[in-house]
Amino acid sequence: MKLGLIDISIIVGYLILTVIIGFILTKRAAKGLNSYFLADKGLPFWILGVSDAGGMFDVTGTMWLVYVVFVYGLKSAWLPWLWPVFNQIFLMVYMSKWMRRSNVMTGAEWINTRFGHGRGAVLAHLSVVAFALVSVIGFLAYGFAGIGKFLAPFLPWGFSPNTYAMTLMLVTAVYVVAGGMYSVVLTELLQFTVLTVSSFAVAIVAMMKISPEAITAAVPAGWKNLFFGWHLNLDWSGLIQSVNVKIAEDGYSLFTIFFMMMLFKGVLVSLAGPAPNYDMQRILATKSPRDASKMNWFVCCCLFFPRYLMISGFTVMALVFFSPQIKAMGTQIDFEQILPDTLSNYMPAGVLGLVLAGLLAAYMSNFAATVNAAPAYVVNDIYKRYVNPNASRRTLIVMSYFVSFAFVAIGILFGLHARDINQVTQWIVSALWGGYTAANILKWYWWRFNGYGYFWGMITGIAAALILSKFPFLYLWLYPDIAANLYPLYSFPVILTLSTIGCVLGTLLSRPEEDETLMKFYRQVRPWGFWKPVHDKVVQADPGFVSDANFKRDMFNIFIGIIWQTSLVVLPLYIVIREKAAILQAIIVIVITSLILRKTWWSKITD
């Protein structure tokens, strides 16, 4: 289906409006680095929460989620734990306020709060900059892998998906570079509004076109069941036989083993705190530690319900209308085409333009947030600190423009070499995060951990992630029977072990950080964990000091919060497939967990 005049008008009008907003905000963003990267830490938590939610509502991820809901049904609600999606709950409960108390501009700058200014701190600082920049490139390649393939069926000029992807990335980069964080946040407010309206439109169209009986006839037994046993127990025989092949290739058949690995990895990554990307920038841009915690709560409130309305709407239309085309593909199924093909064939004029504008908004929002993170590290943490400490405000802003465009170009280059969305997704969420986790857990919870340990842990982990992604045979002897798509996930323990060895050896073979540095960090952040020697010194120096750290309460709130978040994910799925009893159960769980969190978390948040 080609776009009609009304659809083209909606999309073009939206694109023009976002670019205008970016240029209007150029002058305000150019006041200085704090304005450019953190919007002067003056935005309300709910605006930053909507912005962060918009940055996570990306086209590539939406294409992947439509695929997994199509194949795995309600059990797909667990698969975003690969990221892990529940890291937002860890951030909400305690991690965001710890991070915001540092009062810095970037995650790399935070290193000085923890490790001081010695040689170990310098090395740690450089290693976290390296990770941040590698992850930015990974996320840009991730977005590139999906957006061109998504746009190609709609646009009339017949160019390749890569050409469309490059064009949109460059258009988006223009307003991001011009307006900095102000531009990113305010355009994301517009984008999220368009996305929410689009999500409801997709769900309503799907529910009007498709009956519950038609959905039941199109899916295998167990598809509507959220829970699972040792095996996945989804058999597509008699419906779309080749989907069984895809399940085997994905490696999810022994779902309990996969789930345990995913949970193990997810909890460790969440304990490590926010990665140095757009999520961390939003935390550091809040007005206070209390607002930082509220912001991540608001992300969960905004993101999951509208996003899964859209995903479930597209999925049920694909199940009922697109299954014959999928059968015709045989074993060469391209599930990444489900979203664009369903959208192009079953959305009415006007609604199609609105939904396309919404999905473009999703892509641009995620891309903008990612691009905005890169120059913060290069300009603030490398150029200003090591190359030109006396650089003028204008020089730093111009450098930020240059770095942004440079990373867009590098992201395009890596995106051109990505095989598919799932490949990039698995590498980012599993292998790369394996290299990040050990050092970033120890920095929060172990007083003895120092800058040298951080540096060697990060460098060992990043190197292992890069090497194993290129030479998977180096660890295949550990997991000879796993599916190729799960290599990155199952490499996580290997990379984590190597990184932990680097952390421990680097720490124990060098001196502890200075007492003054550790005591200042402990007073400022007040973490729980293995900090007793430092706590005793702080209390000795200041008998009136009281920490608000409460490990047991935080863990309880995380447990309740994950149940609350998962219910927000499954509720829209149940609404679109019209499972009335399940809808009521999900609402009851959301209400009960919300009341518990109000008493045990919301009322306890402190600055």
Q: What is the DSSP letter of 477?
A: T
Q: Which own/partner contact pairs does 119-125 have at CB distance under 8 Å and 24+ positions apart?
A: 119/451, 120/450, 120/451, 120/452, 120/453, 120/454, 120/455, 120/510, 120/513, 121/451, 122/451, 123/451, 123/452, 123/454, 123/455, 124/451, 124/452, 124/454, 124/455, 124/458, 125/381, 125/385
Q: From its phi and psi, is residue 526 left (phi > 0), alpha (psi between -120 and 50) or beta?
A: left
Residues 6+ apart with CB under 8 A from 86: 266, 270, 561, 562, 565
pLDDT digits 0-9 by tens, 108-123: 677 888 898 888 988 8
Domains observed in the chain: 5-418 (1.20.1730.10), 428-502 (no CATH)
Answer whether 254's CB lies under 8 Å from 231's CB.
yes
**Burial of 220 (C-beta count, 10 Å sphere; 0-12/13-18/19+):** middle
Q: Could you tell me the pTM of the whole model?
A: 0.82
Q: How many residues does this entry show for the chain?
A: 607
Handedness of CA 263, 269, 272, 275 (dihedral sign): negative
In angstroms, rounded to a whole number, what is the distance separating the alpha carbons of residues 128 and 120? 12
Helix (H) or strand (E) holding 26: helix 26-29
Q: Which tokens belong to 372?
A: 């905005």
Q: What's residue 463's pLDDT?
A: 83
Question: Measured at the alpha carbon of residue 60, what is the angle toward residues 360 and 486, in degrees to the nearest 5?
Answer: 175
At CA 481, angle to CA 458 and CA 433, rounded to 5? 20
Cα Dmax for the chain: 74
How far apart (Å, rounded) are the C-alpha atoms in residues 29 and 184?
11
How confident is the model over 69-96, as pLDDT tens digits?
A: 998 999 999 988 877 889 999 999 999 9
Distances (CA, A) of 475 to 339, 422, 468, 490, 499: 35, 20, 8, 9, 15
The pLDDT, as a whole number, for residue 482 is: 57
Residue segments in the chain with a per-residue pLDDT below the cut of 70: 1-2, 19, 21-42, 55, 105-108, 142-143, 145-146, 155-157, 172-187, 276-278, 330-331, 361-362, 364-366, 368-369, 372-373, 415-433, 469-489, 607
Q: Which residues of 400-422 are buried (b: 16+ CB within 10 A; e: fewer)?
A: bbebbbebbebbbebbeebeebb
Q: 530 - beta bridge partners?
A: 446
Helix axes 59-72, 351-375, angle to 10 degrees: 120
pLDDT, residue 554, reads 96
- Residue spans of alpha helices (H) in 376-450: 393-416, 421-426, 433-445
pLDDT at position 35, please? Answer: 46
pLDDT of residue 527: 93
Q: What are the φ/ψ torsions at residue 514 (nearest 5 degrees)?
A: -60, 145
- Count the Cβ atoms, other than its own, within 10 Å of residue 463: 15
